A and B are shown apart, each in its own frame.
Chain A
Amino acid sequence: MLQTSKYHATKTDLANELVQVEDAKKNPAKFAVLYDKYYEQIFRFIYQRLDDKEQAFDATQQVFVKALENLHKYEFRGVPFASWLYRIASSEVNNLFRSQKAQRTVNIDSVSIYGIIEEIQESKIEEYHDKIVAIIAENLEEDELQLIEMRFFEKRSFKEMGEILEITENNAKVKTYRILDKLKKIIK
């Protein structure tokens, strides 16, 4: 069962948020509202992909510095402001990997692995648990891992995944199930 994400927003939420963004464009001090609102979400997104907590806190701070610096370029596209922040966060994390300042880490809780096993309709739970971990560590491409990570480890909806990755909801769904098929084949 997917948890209700803080990310989802009603039309009114979106409108209110855009007013806050427009305010912050005029007066950077007003960006505090958005910083407070999204700090935890962005930190968790980054820390999910890193091993070092302090590095994750530094990167989170850097995301908001960059967001504020580039706020004048922000354009509303009918999705929550968070999706823009996630893309900056994703870029920030990739920069860390490219510059080899951090190692790509996947943080998994066992329950999530069982979720994947359930999804690929396999019954050999204990046997496949370790295999899936190994595949995640070595066999999946980065874009494939992103989808699995968002769907199963971060419990995001396909809609949210689509908005963060700038693809359609359906595309996010199709791609995720293709990866699950791939996983199934590798396991067997």
Chain B
Amino acid sequence: MKRKVNINRPEISSEEIAQRKNFDSVLKNHANISGKPLFKKPWFLSSVIVATVAIVTSVVLLNQDTKHEVPDPIATNLQQEINSELEFYRKEEAKPCISPPLKDVNVPYTTFKVIAEKGANLDFKTGSKLVVPKNSFVDENGKLVKGEIELRYREFHDPIDFFVSGIPMTYDSAGVTYQFESAGMMEMLAYQDGKPLNMAPEKAINVELASNYKGTEYNLYKLDTVKNNWACLGKDKVVTTNETKGKAKPDTAKIVKIQQTPEYKILETKKVEIQKEKELKIAALPKVAPEPKKPELAKAGKYTFDISAEGYPELAVYKGLLFEVGDENKHFDKALYKITWDEATIKEGTKKGENYLLTLRKETKKYEFIVYPVYEGKNYETAMKDYQEKFSKYNVVLEKRKVDEKRIEEEYQAKLLAIKKAQEAQFEEWKRVMASQEKSMSKEEQVRRMFSISSFGVYNSDHPSHYPKGMKCSANLSTDKNVKLLCYEIYLADKNKNGLFTFNRNPIASFSFDPNSKNMLWTVENGVLYWLKPEQFTDIKSSDGVQKLVMNRVDQKFKSVDELKTYFNF
């Protein structure tokens, strides 16, 4: 046999191969083959033959004492594990339509007492309004109910509300599953003596549902708990009012001064740090010796004293130092000059570094004069020459230090400027957030979504959407002990979208999220919450393989939905 051999054929890139993927074509081909009558399917005849052979063989083998093939124990164990996982999924899929995932946490109902034959106008704490006409309730037999009834009402406005309620936020339409983005959801039920009531025919309760969203892209849906799907009822009506009654209170806890934000505080600390850094750098520069003292020539006709200048090194640098009596000594008696004194001392005078106080003592007598250091003749010339050399060296060192100090100061100013700019940017962002929050609060006050309901249940002002896009991968959720989480529903919240994006089964075959948004992923295994914090999303890289997501176990026990919201702080 002769084969063709290619040596070093150019390799095809993964990108080129990926471009040729066409799963739709595979599916279409499959559908075409599957659509044929059974006997026309290519595998039918062969299966019939194989089955016949198998049956015959089995009969023959069963009548013989043959050695049976021992199954692979590893494969058997794995198959058992997988079967138990599939059994878990089957149980999850069989759960009721509304299944709160946490045992002790749910959005509570508010109960209104209504006299059935009178009806009522009800205000809810969020600003929602309910108009219940008289004679709106019938019992299970369709008989009009009279007397006091209980109207149980609750609302759901954010992903955590949706999550704890266990109300599905997916919508199947024409075989396509959508994820809901909600402008608000409510549930209303009625009871008398603990027995559920229905709405009377041709009666409708008007609902003005307080909402944070005034867009018109939302439809009104009612949850069909039997079909486990939502029924579209058309559009709701959006009203914006300026009424103050019943408005939601601004969330003052969220209003903080820019100076109180952690980001701002960090930069303030940084300012102090760079100031200290500058001071340390300057302190570390080579020290500059004191400026050399310029020698002064003794004036003619003035009295001078030859006194040791011990203790004054700046005076001892030149030879032949004398102290000249200053003009300020008006009463200097030249006779004093002729006395041989017992003791003569000098100390700093009235002008530091310039003049000195000379004290002369003889027995009990004491005289003090202001004197100036001077030099005479050759000594002066030598001192002057020495001074010029020293001054020149001093100047060089001084100039270098000035340059160094300037450089350090410039570095400091540049850093300070950068911090100030960052603080300005923070301030702008803070203003934007505050404005947005104000706007949002304003919306809470003003926007209501109006619709009428003619039966009790769950109503949702939603628009069908898809999973957030931007980053896509497969995701395998595990604990920090590297144990795969056995969970059915996995929830994603995206700060830019008011929805609860739900994935089924771990691993998530096609997980996607928007990396430019703030995200949070969580699930529940055996009643225990596990979550992936927003900051952990930066570690997720798009990949063909499966990304392992290490979920954080939440051991805290929550008693209310508000506690849960505080914990997530999303």
Contact = CB atoms under 8 A, between A and B. Distances in A.
B7 A109 contact: yes
A145 B2 CA distance: 12
Interface stretch (B75-83, B207-215, B241-249, B461-469): B75-83
Interface stretch (B110-118, B283-291, B503-511): B503-511
A22 interface: yes
B235 to A, nearest CB: 31
Interface in A59-91: 60-61, 64-65, 68-70, 73, 76-78
A12 interface: yes
B474 to A, nearest CB: 8
B26 A103 contact: no
B27 interface: yes
Interface stretch (B13-21, B123-131, B311-319, B324-332): B13-21
Contacts of A64: 23, 26
Contacts of B481: none
Q: How large is the interface on B (under 10, 10 to 19, 20 to 34, 35 or more residues)?
A: 35 or more
B222 to A, nearest CB: 27
A60 B29 CA distance: 14
Contacts of A142: 1
Contacts of A39: 17-18, 21
Interface string B5-40: 111110010100110111101110111011000000
A28 interface: yes
B42 to A, nearest CB: 8
Given A43-B17, A47-B12, A61 B4 contact: no
A16 interface: yes
Contacts of A33: 474, 509-510
A112 to B, nearest CB: 10
Contacts of A174: none
Interface string B498-536: 000000010101100000000000000000000000000
A105 B6 contact: yes
Contacts of B9: 107
A158 interface: no
A74 to B, nearest CB: 13
Q: How large is the interface on A (under 10, 10 to 19, 20 to 34, 35 or more residues)?
A: 35 or more
Contact of B507 (A16, A69, A105): A16
Contacts of A77: 72, 75
A167 interface: no
Contacts of B509: 20, 30, 33
A68 B30 contact: yes
A105 B79 contact: no
Contact of A65 (B1, B7, B29): B29
A69 B476 contact: no
A40 interface: yes
A14 B81 CA distance: 11
Q: Which one of B9, B22, B546 has the highest number of Cβ atoms from chain A below 10 Å of its Cβ?
A: B9
Contact of B8 (A12, A70, A110, A145): A110
B152 interface: no
B190 to A, nearest CB: 40
A103 B4 CA distance: 7
Contact of A108 (B5, B72, B86): B5
Given A106-B3, A133-B7, A40 B18 contact: yes
B2 A138 contact: yes
B39 to A, nearest CB: 16
A32 B3 CA distance: 35
A133 B5 contact: yes
Interface in A6-50: 11-16, 18-20, 22, 28-33, 35-37, 39-40, 43-44, 47
A44 B9 CA distance: 13
Interface of A: 11-16, 18-20, 22, 28-33, 35-37, 39-40, 43-44, 47, 51, 53, 57, 60-61, 64-65, 68-70, 73, 76-78, 103-110, 133, 136-138, 142, 145
Interface of B: 1-9, 12, 14, 17-18, 20-23, 25-27, 29-31, 33-34, 42-43, 72, 74-75, 78-79, 81-82, 85-86, 89, 474, 476, 484, 505, 507, 509-510, 544, 546
